[in-house]
Amino acid sequence: MVTTHVFIAASLDGYIARQDGDIGWLLQRDEPAEDHGYAAFIAGKDWIVMGRGSYEKVLTFDEWPYDLPVLVLSRQLADSPVPEALKGKVHFSRRTPKEVMNDLAAQNAHRVYLDGGQLIQSFLREGLVADIVVTTVPVLLGSGKPLFGPIPQDIDLTLLSSRSFPSGLVQSHYRVNN
């Protein structure tokens, strides 16, 4: 069985990036002395599924940060070759969330890290997210790329745990009651 898991940071007003994709407001809060649990989170995953927006941001980093295989969902990129340096590490697809779940099950995946606001929203709409860890950054951005968006009906969550850090970050872990 494949389950999908979200681990993401957002401003208090619910944005994961500014409208132009800038995440400087987040990186400048990065407190190396604080362990926000990312390493432990990713250690338990076997695939990453991300949207094109997140993939294009990661491409601007100094180096490719993931050891896990990454599936990038994108209509634009689906028919393009994966860059030479990322062959074997990255796969492009235009499959729907349900199809992706079936494909990953066929590949023997178990626990999948979902990343990207639009991508997470599409999996939430299909009832395909098991849990969400959201780390709230104490800043209001006013506008930007939202973590959550329109849904056809309420999605009930159960708070599993929450903690705060000296830097002011607040992290909450929710089970999604699909």
Ligand X SMILES: NC(=O)c1ccc[n+]([C@@H]2O[C@H](COP(=O)([O-])OP(=O)(O)OC[C@H]3O[C@@H](n4cnc5c(N)ncnc54)[C@H](OP(=O)(O)O)[C@@H]3O)[C@@H](O)[C@H]2O)c1
Report helix, strand or coil for 172.
Answer: strand
| Binding residues for ligand X restricted to 146-175, rule: CB under 6 A | none
The mark string for 23-62 relative to ligand X (x by CB under 6 A, - otherwise) is: x--x-----------------------xxxxx--x-----
Residue 152 backbone class (left: φ over 0; alpha: ψ -120 to 50; beta: rest) = alpha
> Is 2 a residue that touches ligand X (CB under 6 A)?
no
- 76 vs 158, which CB is nearer to ligand X? 76
Residues 129/21, Cβ–Cβ less than 8 Å = no
Token match 């389950």: residue? 3
Considering the rule CB under 6 A, would residue 119 count as an interface residue with ligand X?
yes
Bridge partners (DSSP) listed for residue 128 = none
The site map against ligand X for 79-118 (x = CB under 6 A) is: ------------------x-----------------xxxx
Taking contact as CB under 6 A, which single stretch among the options 15-23, 30-38, 40-48, 80-88 is the one that binds ligand X?
A: 15-23
Which lies closer to ligand X via its Cβ, residue 18 or residue 175?
18
HEC letters along 101-149: HHHHHHCCCCEEEEECHHHHHHHHHCCCCCEEEEEEECCCCCCCEECCC
